[in-house]
Amino acid sequence: MSAQKKRNFKIEAFKHRVELDPNYAERTWRVLEHAIHEIYNHNASGLSFEELYRNAYNMVLHKYGEKLYSGLVNTMTGHLKEIARSIEAAQGGFFLEELNVKWGDHNKALQMIRDILMYMDRTFVPSNHKTPVHELGLNLWRDNIIHSSKIQTRLLDMLLDLIHRERTGEVINRGLMRNITKMLMDLGSSVYQEDFEKPFLGVSASFYSVESQQLIECCDCGEYLRKAERRLNEEIERVSHYLDVKSEVKITSVVEGEMIANHMQRLVHMENSGLVSMLVDDKYEDLSRMYNLFHRVPDGLSTIKDVMTSHLRETGKQLVSDPEKLKDPVDFVQHLLDEKDKYDKIISKAFNNDKTFQNALNSSFEYFINQNNRSPEFISLYVDDKLRKGLKGVSEEDVEVVLDKVMMLFRYLQEKDVFEKYYKQHLAKRLLSGKSVSDDTERSMIVKLKTECGYQFTSKLEGMFTDMKTSIDTMQGFYSSQYSEIGDGPTLAVQVLTTGSWPTQPSAPCNLPAEIVVICEKFRTYYLGTHTGRRLTWQTNMGTADIKATFGKGQKHELNVSTYQMCILMLFNSADQLTYREIEQATEIPPSDLKRCLQSLACVKGKNVLRKEPMSKDIAEDDAFYFNDKFMSKFFKVKIGTVAAQKESEPEKQETRQRVEEDRKPQIEAAIVRIMKSRRVLDHNTIVTEVTSQLQSRFLPNPVIIKKRIESLIEREFLERDKADRKLYRYLA
C-alpha cells in the first residue's frame, strides 16, 4: 500500500464581492436622516419601517456603523436644540407643559428610531462600546434640554415654586408634576437627585425652619404638634402623588428635623401646655401624638422619658414628704395607688405600652417610695384597712385586683423586712380581734407574698392562721370536757399562740378578776393535760371581753372591751369610786396602757361608761373614777376596745426600727459566711456586692454595717485577713 497524501480541503467563507458604490453609505444615511426628521416632525406615517430597517442593517453590515451612529447623534442633537428653543420660548406656566409635551414626543420618536436601528443597537453598539440608542436618546435629552442653561434653573425654580404654593394652600397640577418628576427619574437617579431632590430638600428645610419658628412663638404645645403632624402627613402624601418613593424618608426626616428635633426641648418644657401639663391633665391624644412624632427623631423618646421621670420623682417626693398627706396612712397609700394607675393608663393609652417607659415609671416609684422610711408601715396599714372592712361587699375579682395593685407597691419597697414586721403585728391584731373581712382574702394575700418573697417570708404568718384554727378545736375539746362546768360563770374563748410565730410583746399578766381566774385555771389544767411539756402564759394585753352592764335607769348594754378594761370595770362591782392609784394597784396594768384604757372608758363621748373627776382629758395620779350611772347609748352593743391597728407613735417607731436593725445583723453575717464558705478567698468590695445582691429581696444593707459584721466575724475567727494582701479575706473552716 502506498501512502497517499491527502490534499487538504478548505472551503472558504463566502465573501460578498459586490463592490459598493462609494456613495452608497452617504445615500443610505440620507434616507435615514430624512426619516429621523420626519419622525420628529410627526410625519412618521409616511415611512416604511421595513425599508428603513433594511437600510440601517445594510449600513452596519458594510461597516458603516460608525457613520450611522455619529449621524444619529448629530441629527438628534440638532432636533433637541430646536426643541430646547421652543421650550425656552414658552411663557410662564406653559413652560412645564411644553416641556412635558416635548418629552412625550421625544420618547415616541426615540422608540421608533430605536426600532429602526435595532440591528445596530444589537451588534455595532455593544462591540464598539457605544451607548445604546435608548439610553443615548435620554442622555442627549438630558444634556441638551434639562442641562441647557436657559432651562435648567427655570425648571427647578418652577418646580420648587409650585411645591411652595401647594404648601401654602394652593391647588396645583399634580399630574403635570408627576410627569416632570418621572421624566427626571427616567433620566437617571443622579439627575433626579442633583437637579431636583437635593435643592428640594434644601428649600424644604428652610421653609420648615421658618414655619416652625413662627408656630412655636404662637402655638401651645398641643397645637404645634397637631400642625407638625399635619405637615408630615402632607409631605408623605405629596411624595406618593408626584415624587419618587425614595424621597419619602428624606423629606420626612427634614420635616422631623426642622419641626421636631430642633424644638424638642422647648416643646416639652412649655409652660402650661408642655409634657408635664399633658401628664397632669391626662391628655391622652396629645401625649400619643407627641410620642409618635418624637419616636421619629433621635433622642426624642428619651427626652420625653427623662422629663416624665423627673416630674414623677418630684411629685412623688412631695407626696411622701408632705406632712399633711402623711397623717392618714391609708389615704397616703391610696394616693400612691392612684398615681400608679394614672401613669399605667397613660403608658398604655398614649405611649404604646413602651417598655422603657414602664421601667422609668417603676424606677421613679421605687425612688420616692423609699424616700419615706415609713412606707412599709403605711402599706401594711392600708392592707390592714382593706382586710378589716374596706373590702366588704366587694366581688372576689375586684378584691384580687386591689391586692395585686398593693403587691406592685410592695415590690418597690427596699425594706421588705420592715414591712414583714408590721404586717405580722397588724395581722395578729386582726386575727385576735376577729376583725378580718374574710379568711379567704387573708390567705390570698399570704399566697401573693409567698410568690413574691418565698416560703420563709410567710411561714410564720401561716403559723398564725394554724394557731387560730387549732384554738377553735381546742375550745371545742375544752367545752365538751369535764372542766367546763361552770354554770353561769363567764364563757371563755382562748386562742393559744405559738410563741415563735406571733409578734412578741412581753408583758406581765395583770390581775384578773376572781371569776375569770377560776375559768382560766380550768383551761390551763385541761390544756396541759392534753399537751405535756408546754408552758402557757396569759397575754392579758391582747385579749377582749364582752360584759353585760346595767346602768342607773336599768338600761342594759353589752360592752365590748379589752381585757385590761374588763379588769378595771369589774372593780366597780364592789366599789363606787376608785382613784387612779387604787385601780393601778388592784389591776397591776402597766401605767401607759392603764392611762390609755381609762381615757377610752371615761373621756370619749358616747363611750363614757366611767366618769372622771376632774373632767380633763389627761389622767393624773389623783383622778377619781365613778361608774357612770347616766351612761346612754342608742346601741345595745357598745364597742370601747382600743385594739385597732394604728400608725405607731414616734417612740414605738424607733423601737420597731431598732428591732429590725438587730434582726438584720445575723442575716448579714449569715450571708457573709455563706459567700465566704463557697468562695474561700474574696476581696472586700466583692463581698459587699455579693452580700447586697443576696439580701436585696429583703432590704438594702448598708456597706458600713457589712464592714462591721466582717470585723466581728474576724474577731470570732470565722474569717481572717490574707497575710500578703490586706484587702483579701479568707474563710477559716
Measured distance CA(201)–CA(207) in Å, rounded:
10
Going by C-beta distance under 8 Å and a sequence separation of 6 or more, which residues neighbour residue 259? 208, 211, 212, 215, 228, 231, 232
Nearer to another protein, 227 or 684 (CB): 684
Residues numbered 623 to 652 that lie near another protein (CB under 8 A) are none
Cα 301 to chain centroid, rounded: 12
Among 5, 16, 715, 724, binds another protein (CB under 8 A): 715
Rounded to a whole number of angstroms, the minimum distance from the CB of residue 697 to another protein is 25
Backbone angles phi, psi at 333, to 5 degrees: -65, -35
| Stretch touching another protein by CB under 8 A, among 25-33, 235-243, 550-558, 723-731 | 723-731
Interaction of residue 707 with another protein, rule CB under 8 A: yes
Residue 700 CB, nearest approach to another protein (Å): 18
Closest CA to 431 of 381, 394, 384, 477: 384
Interaction residues for another protein, span 125-184 (CB under 8 A) = none
Select from 684, 689, 692, 730 the one that contacts another protein (CB under 8 A). Answer: 684
Supply the minimum distance, in Å, between the C-beta of residue 702 and another protein.
11
- Whichever of 165 and 679 has its CB closer to another protein, that residue is 679
Per CB under 8 A, the list member of 647, 726, 731, 732 interacting with another protein is 726
Long-range pairs, 109-112, Cβ under 8 A, ≥24: 109/36, 109/39, 109/40, 110/134, 110/137, 110/138, 112/39, 112/44
Q: Is 26 in the site for another protein (CB under 8 A)?
A: no
Site for another protein in 685-704 (CB under 8 A): 685, 704
What is the spatial distance between Cα 586 and Cα 511, in angstroms, rounded to a whole number? 7
* 586, 638, 714, 730: residue in contact with another protein (rule CB under 8 A): 714
Check binding of 683 to another protein (CB under 8 A): yes
Compute the least distance from the CB of residue 712 to another protein, in Å.
9
Strands 637-639 and 556-562: parallel
The DSSP result for 248-293, as a single string, is HHHHHHHHIIIIIGGGHHHHHT-TTTSHHHHHHTT-HHHHHHHHHH
613 membership: H or E segment, kind and range: strand 610-613
Helix locations, 575-717, DSSP H: 580-587, 591-602, 650-679, 684-695, 703-715
Measured from the CB atom, the residue of 95 and 729 that comes closer to another protein is 729
Which of residues 650 and 717 has its CB atom nearest to another protein in the complex?
717
Asked if residue 724 binds another protein (CB under 8 A), the reply is no
Interacting residues of 515 by C-beta distance below 8 A, sequence separation 6+ = 489, 490
Nearer to another protein (CB atom), residue 484 or residue 689: 689
* Out of 89, 459, 708, 732, the residue judged to bind another protein by CB under 8 A: 708
CB of 727 to another protein, least distance (A): 4
CB of 704 to another protein, least distance (A): 6
As measured in angstroms, the least distance from the Cβ of 681 to another protein is 13
Cell matching residue 331: 389615704
Q: Measuring CA to CA, how many Å separate 295 from each of 10, 89, 302, 305, 521?
A: 80, 49, 9, 11, 76
Q: Does 679 bind another protein (CB under 8 A)?
A: no
Q: Name the minimum Å distance from CB 373 to another protein.
A: 23
Pairing of strands 577-579, 624-627: antiparallel
CA dist., res. 33 & res. 47, Å (int): 12
End-to-end CA distance of the chain: 112
Q: Residues touching another protein: how many (CB under 8 A)?
A: 13
Q: How far is the CB of 714 from another protein (least distance, A)?
A: 5
Q: Which residues bind another protein (CB under 8 A)?
A: 683-685, 704, 707-708, 711, 714-715, 721, 726-727, 729
